Amino acid sequence: MKGNEALGEAAMRAGCKCFFGYPITPQTELSAYLAKHMAKRGGTFLQAESEIAAVNMVLGASSCGVRAMTSSSSPGISLKSEGISYIAGSDLPCVIVNVQRGGPGLGGIQPSQSDYWQATKALGHGDFQLLVYAPASVQETVDMTFKAFDEADRYRMPAMILSDGLLGQMMEPVMFPDIVPDIPEKPWACCGHKNKREHNIINSLYLKPDELENSVLERYKRYDAVKRECTDAEAYLCDDAEIVITAYGASARVAKSAVNGAREKGIKAGLFRPKTLYPYPVNEINEACRSAKTVLSVEMSMGQMVDDVKLALNCRIPVEFFGRTGGIIPTPSEVLEKIESLSERSR
């Protein structure tokens, strides 16, 4: 199944009842799949007049307590950032999919990872975070979609699936878990009080600074829990690794091949692959880098996650960077070459 279509199927199985989108490449198949299947299965698919309208429709549906999702690709996510900030500020859960393409501006339509900073640090104005999941296979895209809906509801915050044009377009076999979605009660929802309770208000406006600060502090307490409970990562051949490659998503697939190549040449290389980008798996990376002398961040960007790698390692270990951008996927041999040169240097 195609990555984008599998994501759409997973969303419906995870209890997503409303999808609002706007056409953009390379997320196209996701919308098309949901347009075909969602109404038949008791949900709502609506093509909005803009990315801005789509994300605000998500805000409305989520306000009713319904699981809702929108998807786009890089330039479209920039347009959604206003709504995402309001959703976060109103403590609403939802899932946002970014099938990344090259930027800035209109950029290109080939796979890229140049929205890492946007996803993890700057998806709108104000103090807030999104849960950010970074799948590296179609199966993981499916599994993370279920998780994203659950955790978004649990912490009342938006969650993002940070995919890319490669993961979205490629086909892999996939198993859908046999899960009946367990959607929590949402007593805060605005769906009519039925004359049984006080009226609910969903709002992100606090004109008094102390009230606004308190609302942000409360949100950051939840983020602390998210940091304790939601980090996820894979460490591959890291136990004795002297060179640890850090990479997520599509570039981690390339990096894994390069690590295997390096091992064949007797170089002690390993791969650390964060599956959550916010919260960043800080403990896990330190564990994976115990024997590392050098760390190499491999990305399809000019170097964005590399900052988080340095922060997580507290600059204890030298961190190098290798990346291709603009829609170019690095080849395993390019990465292997870089590993070899680092290995020689450290000898």
Partner 1 sequence: MAVVFERPHALCDVANHYCPGCTHGIIHRLVAEVIDEMGIEGDTVGICPVGCSVMAYDYFNCDMIEAPHGRAPAVATGVKRAKPDSVVFTYQGDGDLAAIGTCETVHAAARGENITVIFVNNTIYGMTGGQMAPTTIPGQVTQTTPYGRDPKLQGFPLKVCELLAQADGTALAQRVSVDSIPHIREAKKAIRKAFENQVNKRGFSIVEILSTCPTNWGMTPLEALERVRTDMIPYYPLGVYKDKTVWNGEEDK
In angstroms, the CA 303 to CA 320 distance is 10
Q: Which of 31, 62, 141, 251 touches partner 1 (CB under 8 A)?
A: 62
Contacts of partner 1 in 245-274 (CB under 8 A): none
Q: Which of 1, 11, 18, 254 touches partner 1 (CB under 8 A)?
A: 18
Q: What would the x/- binding string for partner 1 be over residues 71 to 110, using CB under 8 A?
A: -----------xx--x---x--------------------
Angle, helix 74-89 to helix 51-63, in steps of 10 degrees: 30
In angstroms, the CA 204 to CA 337 distance is 50
Min separation Cβ 43 and partner 1, Å = 10
Min separation Cβ 149 and partner 1, Å = 15
Min separation Cβ 15 and partner 1, Å = 13
In angstroms, the CA 142 to CA 43 distance is 19
Tally of CB atoms within 10 A around 267? 18
**What are the backbone angles phi and psi of residue 4, rounded to the nearest 5°?**
-65, -40
Contacts of partner 1 in 308-327 (CB under 8 A): none
Q: Which is nearer to partner 1, 1 or 88 (CB)?
A: 88
Q: Which of 7, 10, 11, 17 touches partner 1 (CB under 8 A)?
A: 17
Q: Which of 66, 69, 132, 335 touches partner 1 (CB under 8 A)?
A: 66
Which residues contact residue 22 at a Cβ distance below 8 angstroms, ignoring those fewer than 6 apart? 47, 48, 49, 50, 51, 53, 54, 72, 76
Contacts of partner 1 in 171-190 (CB under 8 A): 190
Among 117, 53, 122, residue whose Cα is nearest residue 88? 122
Preceding amide of 135 cis, omega within 30: no
Does position 49 interact with partner 1 (CB under 8 A)? The reply is yes
Q: Which residue has the tokens 């170089």?
A: 267
Which helix (H) or strand (E) is 20 found in, with range?
strand 18-21
Does position 347 interact with partner 1 (CB under 8 A)? The reply is no
Q: Which of 12, 24, 68, 230 touches partner 1 (CB under 8 A)?
A: 68
Q: Which is nearer to partner 1, 203 or 346 (CB)?
A: 203
Is there a contact between 330 and 254 (Cβ–Cβ < 8 Å)?
yes
What would the two tokens of residue 186 be? 């949402």
Q: Which is nearer to partner 1, 175 or 201 (CB)?
A: 201
Angle, helix 249-264 to helix 332-346, in steps of 10 degrees: 60
Min separation Cβ 139 and partner 1, Å = 30
SS3 246: strand
Min separation Cβ 183 and partner 1, Å = 13
Min separation Cβ 60 and partner 1, Å = 2
Q: Which is nearer to partner 1, 182 or 198 (CB)?
A: 198
In angstroms, the CA 326 to CA 317 distance is 29
Is there a contact between 6 and 138 (Cβ–Cβ < 8 Å)?
yes
Contacts of partner 1 in 187-206 (CB under 8 A): 190-196, 199-205
Q: Which of 7, 10, 61, 88 touches partner 1 (CB under 8 A)?
A: 61
State how beta strands 243-246 and 294-299 pair.
parallel
Min separation Cβ 52 and partner 1, Å = 7
Is there a contact between 277 and 120 (Cβ–Cβ < 8 Å)?
yes
Min separation Cβ 150 and partner 1, Å = 19
Q: Where does this chain bind partner 1 (CB under 8 A)?
A: 17-18, 20, 44, 46, 48-50, 52-54, 56-64, 66, 68, 82-83, 86, 90, 190-196, 199-205
